[in-house]
Amino acid sequence: MPVSRIFGEKEFWGLSFYINEYCLDPRPETETLIEAILKATPNKKTPLNIVDFGTGSGCILISLLHEFPNARGIGVDISPDALEVAHHNAQALDVINRVTFVCSDWGKALPQENQFDIIVSNPPYIESDVILTLDKEVSHFDPSLALDGGKKGLNTYEILIPQIKFFLKQGGKAFFEIGKGQEADILRLVEKTHATLRALHPDLAGIVRGVEISCGDK
């Protein structure tokens, strides 16, 4: 059992997050998304509207709200139990007045009104038949709902990438974490939906973990 699971606590982006069996254990490579968004939005006073699909513990969204004090966010998850964890963390880390949590199967419960400056997500992207071969600290303790990306690991991207155009404001961008070696598949999905792959963002090990996408000319 990972130490974070024993103590029910994990540090992410310098903040301490409560975690339990209903959410993914936050990992350092996911901080690549925070770094990418900060690079794309250097003015921290910008009043952003952010949506985090598959928010889990809320670590990505809450970290962004700490970096952007004028931002507001929506955390979306299909798991009510995970949303309870995110709500707890938002209260404990003093951003609860700037965040709303929505129980939804990705974007189904949200109005498609081009309302967000930033879409961010660390979706499930592990191939279904690979999950049981992962280290036990992952395969035995992270919820399969947060890991299983289907046969090719692309199921969620096939849902979210075509929806970008409905949720992004003019000039907005989407940032997704991806698995090792998935760049070509993601590029294919982006081109298929007439979006634009703006940048690839590697983690500290040089592995591409983040993709930055805009919609058409946005």
Give the whole-angstrom CA distance, residue 119 versus residue 65: 13
Q: What is the pLDDT of residue 140?
A: 66
Average pLDDT of the residues in 64-84: 97
Give the whole-angstrom CA distance, residue 26 versus residue 218: 31
Q: What is the pLDDT of residue 217?
A: 56
Average pLDDT of the residues in 49-70: 98
Tell me the per-residue pLDDT of 95-141, one tens digit each, with 9 for 90 and over.
Answer: 999 999 999 999 999 988 889 999 999 999 988 888 777 777 777 67
| Composition of the chain by helix, strand, coil, percent to 5 | 35, 25, 35
Q: Domain residues of the chain, as ranges?
A: 3-215
CA angle 157, 123, 166 (to 5 degrees): 50
Please list, in sequence order, all residues whose beta carbon lies within 8 angstroms of the beta carbon of residue 22, skipping any fewer than 6 positions away: 79, 81, 82, 84, 85, 143
Average pLDDT of the residues in 61-80: 98
Evaluate whether the domain defined by 3-215 bears CATH number 3.40.50.150: yes
Q: For 134-165, b where at least 16 C-beta lie within 10 A, e where not — what string?
A: eeeeeeebbbebbbbbeeebbbbbeebbebbb
